[in-house]
Chain A
Amino acid sequence: MAEQLKDFSLLHSDEMILNMGPQHPSTHGVLRLKIHTDGEIVSRIEPIIGYLHRCFEKHCEFLTYEQIVPFTDRTDYLAAMNMNDAYALAVEKLLEIEIPERVQYIRVIMAELQRIASHLVAVGTFGLDVGGITPFTWTIRDRERILDLFEYVCGARLLYNYIWVGGVSHDLPEKFIRRTLEFLDYFEPQIEEYNQILTYNKIFIERTADVGTLTPEVAINYGCTGPVLRGSGVKWDLRKTEPYAVYDKFDFDIAVGDGRMGTVGDTWDRYFVRIIEMKESVKILRQALAQIPDGDVHAAVPKKVRIKEGSVYSRYESARGEVGFYIIAGGKDKPMRVKMRSPAFCNLSVLSEIAEGWMISDVIAILGSLDIVLGEIDR
C-alpha cells in the first residue's frame, strides 16, 4: 500500500462522469445528461434523448389525417392545443381550404390560453430549478384556472383533441367569453406577484444573470426558436413575421431579451421573455374575445380528408418555438410521411454549447430556461 502511494498518478484528479437522469428531479422528464465534471465545474455535457420515443412519425403513416390529431396532443403535452393547431394548419395548407373566421378566432383564443398555461409551467419549474418552491405552486394554481376553461370548452384538461382539420370539435360554450374575461382580470395582477417573488429577487438575479449567454448567431445557427431565440434579442415571432390565422388583426409586441440584468441572451432574459409573453398573450386574448364573430365552426370540416400528392412545410409558433410539420401526401387518406420539427429538440441541442464551463447548479438553471418537454423532443 505504501509503495502504491508513492505513485503520484494515484493522486491525479480525474474527471467524474455524472449521469443526470433519466430519473432526476430537474431534467423535466426523462432526459439524460452525461456530464463530465471537474469538481463543481462542468467540462462537457452530452444530452442523451430517446427515453420517451413513442414512434409518433411511424404511427402517422398508418393513421388517417383526422386520426393523427390526438397523437399530436401527446407530443407536447404541456401545449397540446398548440400542437393540434399546428398540425391542422399544415393539413389545411395541403387541402387548400378556407377556414371560417370564427374558427380562426377560437383557435387564436385557445392557442394564447395554452401559451399562458405552458409559460406558467415554464416559469414555475424554472423557479423550482433554482430552488424556489413557492413560484411553482402559485403558477400551477393559476394554470388550473386555464385548465378549467379548457375543460369547460372540450371536456379535457391536458390532451384536448379540440382543434380538428378544418375546424374545431365543439363551438364555444355560452359563458366561455365571460369566464375567460374574468380569468384575465384575475390573472393580470398575478404576473406582478410572480415578478415580486421570483423575477426581481436578488438571489434569483445572481443565479441567472450573465449565466449561460446565448448569442443570436449561435441561436440561429442551432435552429433555436421561440422564447429561447427571442431571449437572445432576435425579434422573431412567427405570429408577427409570418402571420397565420388572424394574428395580423391584433396589436401586440414581440417580447425580446434586452440584457436588463446582465448580458443579452442570458438565462434571466430567456426567463423574462416568457413573463412578457404572458402579458402580450393577455392583450391578444382581450382583443380576440372582443372581436370574435358568429358562425358555424363545422362549415369547413371535410367529410374525409384525402389529399392529392404533394408536400408542405408549415410553421407555427407554439409556446416553445417553431413547430414545423413537413407532410408528404401520397394521394391516399393516410400521409406518406409526417415529420414534426420540434422546437425543444433544437433548443436542447444548444445546451452543450452554452452550459459547458459553468457549474452543475448553472446547468440546471440553463436547462430550465430552455423549457424543454421531452414528449416533444423524443416524439
Chain B
Amino acid sequence: MNSVIDSMMKIFGSLGTGNSALGLVLAVVIAGLVVFTIMAVMAIVAVYFERKVSAFMQDRIGPMEVGIFGFKGGKQFWGGIGQTLADTVKLLVKEDILPKEADKKLMIMAPFIIFIASFLTFIGVPLSDGLVVSDFNIGVFYIMAAGSIGVIGIILAGWSSNNKWSLYGALRSAAQIISYEIPIGLSLMLVVIVVGSLNFGDIVAWQADHRWFFIHSPFAFIAFIIYVIAGVAETNRTPFDIPEAESELVAGWMTEYSGFRWSIFFMSEYANVLIISIIASIIFLGGWLSPLAIFGVHVSWLEGPLWGLFWIFSKAVFFVFVMMWFRWTFPRLRVDQLMYFCWKVLIPFALANLIFISVWELIF
C-alpha cells in the first residue's frame, strides 16, 4: 500500500531536491495542515448538520430560518447556514476566561492534548484506497492507542479548572472512556482474527474478496452492534453524555472553558465522531467499496480513489446521522447504569463473540 506521505516523498524526490530529510519535513507539514483543515471544516459541517437534524426532529425555527445575505432557505439545504457562520465567529472572538484559582498551565494545555489525540488518530485513518497520511501495518492497534490519549487531556481539563463540576465530569469521563475502549477493542479484534491483519488496506481488500464484514457471520453482526454502541459512548454523546450532562454537571469537564479553547474541544469531539464512523464503515461496511460490492457486482467506473472517498464518506455520514438521531431521541443514562451496561452486558458479549468467531473460523 502507499500512503500520502510516501507519494509526496516520491514527488519531492523526483523534483530533484535530493535531500530526503527536507522532503520528509515538507511532506509531514503539508499533510498535517491538510488534516487540520479537514478536521476544522468537518467540525463546522458537522455542527451545521447536527443543527439541521435537530431542527427537523424538534421543530426548531432558528436553524431553518437564519439566513445570510438575504438567503433564508427554510427547510431547504442552505436554510440556517447563517447560524453556523455566526456561531463560528462568536466562538473565535469570545472572551477567553481563565479562572483565578485554576492551574493555568494545565488548563491551557488540556485542549491541545485532546486535540492532538484526535489529530494523531486521523493520521492513521484511510479516507480512500491509498489516501492515508501514514499507512501503518498496525493500523487498528495504532488508532486504539492514539485515541486513548485524549482521556488524559480530559482529566487535566477537569482537574485544572478547579471546579467541582469539572472534576466530576472528568472522573466520569475517564471511567467511561477507559471502560468503553474494551468492548471497542474486543469487537475490532474479530475482524483481525478473520482477516489476519491489522492494516486497514488489507481489511478492506479482504472484504472486497469475500463479503462485507458485518454480514460475515452472526457474531460479526453482534460485534458491529457492540461497536456502534460503544463508539457512541466513547465519543461522550447521548445517551452516554454523562461526563457533560448539562442538566447535572452544568457542562462537565468543559465548564470553565470558553471561546477558542472550548471550540477546540468541540472540534475534537466532532473529529472523534467522524473517526468512529469512518472506522465503522471501514471495518464493517466495506470501507471504500461501492455498495454494489455487497451483491458481488463490481462496476469498474464506480471504483477508484475518488469514488472510494465518496463511498466512505456516505457510509460515515450515515453513522454520524445515526449518532445524532440517538442524541435527539434518547434521555441520558445514569453513571452506574452506564458502567453496568459496559462491564456486565457489552464486555461479556464481546468476549463470547471472540471465542465463537474463532471456532467459526476453525470450522469454515
Do the two chains touch directly in the complex (Cβ atoms below 8 Å apart)?
Answer: yes
B59 touches A25 (CB 8 A): no
B328 at the interface (CB under 8 A from A): yes
Which residues of chain B (180-197) have a CB below 8 Å from chain A? Answer: none
Please, which residues of chain B bring their CB within 8 A of the CB of A133? 54, 58, 327-328
Interface residue A59 (Cβ < 8 Å from any Cβ of B): no
B168 neighbours in A (Cβ, 8 Å): 40, 360
Known contacts A131-B241, A137-B60, A138-B59; A360 and B248 CB within 8 A of each other: yes
Cα–Cα, bound, A207→B168 (Å): 19
Given contacts A40-B336, A134-B329, are A128 and B247 in contact (CB under 8 A)? yes
* Whole-angstrom distance between the Cβ of A101 and the nearest chain B Cβ: 39
B45 contacts which chain A residues (CB < 8 A)?
none
Are B331 and A25 in contact, with the CB atoms below 8 A? no
Q: Is A206 an interface residue (CB 8 A)?
A: yes
Asked whether any CB of chain A lies closer than 8 Å to the CB of B334, the reply is yes
In the complex the two chains form, is A25's CB within 8 Å of B58's CB? no
A131-B247, A360-B168, A360-B248 known; A137+B333 contact, CB < 8 A: no
Provide the residues of chain B in CB contact with A204, threshold 8 Å: 331
B193-214 toward A: CB 8 Å interface, digit per residue (1/0)?
0000000000000000000000
Residue contact B245 to A131, C-beta cutoff 8 Å: yes
B239 within 8 A of A: yes
How far is B54's CA from A86's CA once the two chains are assembled, in angstroms?
A: 40
Interface SS of chain B = loop
Q: Nearest Cβ distance between residue B264 and chain A, in whole angstroms?
A: 23
Does B335 count as interface, using CB distance less than 8 angstroms? yes
Q: How far, in angstroms, from A206 to B336 measured CA to CA in the complex?
A: 11
Min Cβ gap A186→B in Å is 13
Chain A 116-141 per-residue mask, 1 if CB under 8 angstroms from chain B, else 0? 00000000000111111110011001
B residues 227-255 near A (Cβ < 8 Å) are 238-239, 241-242, 245-250
Is B164 an interface position by the 8 A CB rule?
yes
A contacts with B: majority SS: helix
Enumerate A11-35 residues with CB–CB distance to B below 8 Å.
16, 18, 24-26
Chain A residues contacting B333 (CB-CB under 8 Å) are: 203, 206-207
B335 pairs with A138, CB closer than 8 A: no
A130 proximity list for chain B (CB < 8 A): 247, 331-332
Is B337 an interface position by the 8 A CB rule? yes
> Are A361's CB and B59's CB within 8 A?
no
State A319–B137 Cα separation when bound (angstroms): 65
The answer to whether B331 and A26 touch across the interface, beta carbons within 8 angstroms, is no
Enumerate chain B residues within 8 angstroms of A197, measured Cβ to Cβ: 329
Given the interface pairs A16-B164, A203-B331, A362-B334, the reply to whether A134 lies near B58 with Cβ below 8 Å is: yes
A254 within 8 A of B: no
> A343-370 vs B: 1/0 string, CB under 8 Å?
0000000000000000111101000000
User: Are A141 and B238 neighbours in the complex by a CB distance under 8 Å?
Assistant: no
Q: With A137-B59, A141-B59, A203-B239 as given contacts, are A132 and B331 in contact (CB-CB < 8 Å)? A: yes
Q: Which residues of A have CB within 8 Å of B330?
A: 131-132, 201, 203
Please tell me if the beta carbons of B247 and A26 are within 8 angstroms of each other in the complex.
yes
B residues 318-349 near A (Cβ < 8 Å) are 327-337
Find out whether the CB atom of A359 lies under 8 angstroms from the CB atom of B247: no
A206 shortest CB reach to chain B, Å:
6
Q: Are A198 and B331 in contact (CB under 8 A)?
A: yes
* Complex: chain B residue closest to A204, CB-CB: B331
Q: Which of B54, B164, B327, B337 contacts A18 (CB 8 A)?
A: B164
Minimum C-beta distance from A363 to chain B (A):
9
User: With A and B bound together, what is the CA distance between A132 and B325 in angstroms?
Assistant: 12
Residue pair A361, B250 in contact (C-beta under 8 Å): no
Instruction: Flag if B247 contacts A134 (CB, 8 Å).
Output: no
CA distance A323 to B245 in the complex (A): 34
Contacts of A201 in B (CB 8 A): 330-331
Nearest chain A CB to B271 CB, angstrom units: 23
- Known pairs A134-B57, A138-B59, A141-B59; A203 contacts B332 (CB<8 A): yes
Q: Which of A24, A128, A137, A360 lies in contact with B58, CB distance below 8 A?
A: A137
CA distance A326 to B239 in the complex (A): 47
* Cα–Cα distance between A352 and B248 once the two chains are bound (Å): 17
Given A16-B164, A137-B60, verify A359-B335 contact (CB < 8 Å): yes
A133 to B58, CA, bound (A): 9
Q: A25-B250, A360-B248 are in contact. Are A134 and B328 (CB under 8 A)?
A: yes
What distance in Å separates the Cβ of B168 from its nearest Cβ neighbour in chain A?
7
Establish whether residues A26 and B248, one from each chain, have CB atoms under 8 Å apart when the complex forms. yes
Q: Which of A30-44 contact B (CB under 8 A)?
A: 40
Whether A40 lies near B239 (C-beta < 8 A) is: no
Bound CA–CA A255/B232 (angstroms): 38
* Closest CB in chain B relative to A195 CB, distance in Å: 14
Q: How far is the CB of B183 from chain A (nearest CB, A)?
A: 18
* Distance between A227 CB and nearest chain B CB, rounded to angstroms: 20
Within 8 Å CB of B331, what residues of A? Answer: 127, 130-132, 198, 201, 203-204, 207
Complex CA–CA separation, A127 to B329 (angstroms): 11
* Contacts A16-B164, A132-B332, A198-B331 known; 10 new A-B pairs at CB < 8 A: A25-B247, A131-B241, A131-B331, A133-B327, A134-B329, A137-B59, A203-B239, A207-B337, A359-B335, A361-B248
A-B contact pairs, 27 of them (CB 8 A): A40-B335, A40-B336, A127-B331, A128-B247, A130-B247, A130-B331, A130-B332, A131-B245, A131-B330, A132-B329, A132-B330, A132-B331, A133-B327, A134-B58, A137-B58, A137-B59, A201-B330, A203-B239, A203-B330, A203-B333, A207-B337, A359-B335, A361-B242, A361-B245, A361-B248, A361-B334, A362-B334
Interface residues of B (CB under 8 A from A): 54, 57-60, 164, 168, 238-239, 241-242, 245-250, 327-337
On A, residues with C-beta under 8 Å from B are: 16, 18, 24-26, 40, 127-134, 137-138, 141, 197-198, 201, 203-204, 206-207, 359-362, 364
Top-3 shortest CB links A-B: A131-B332, A137-B58, A132-B331
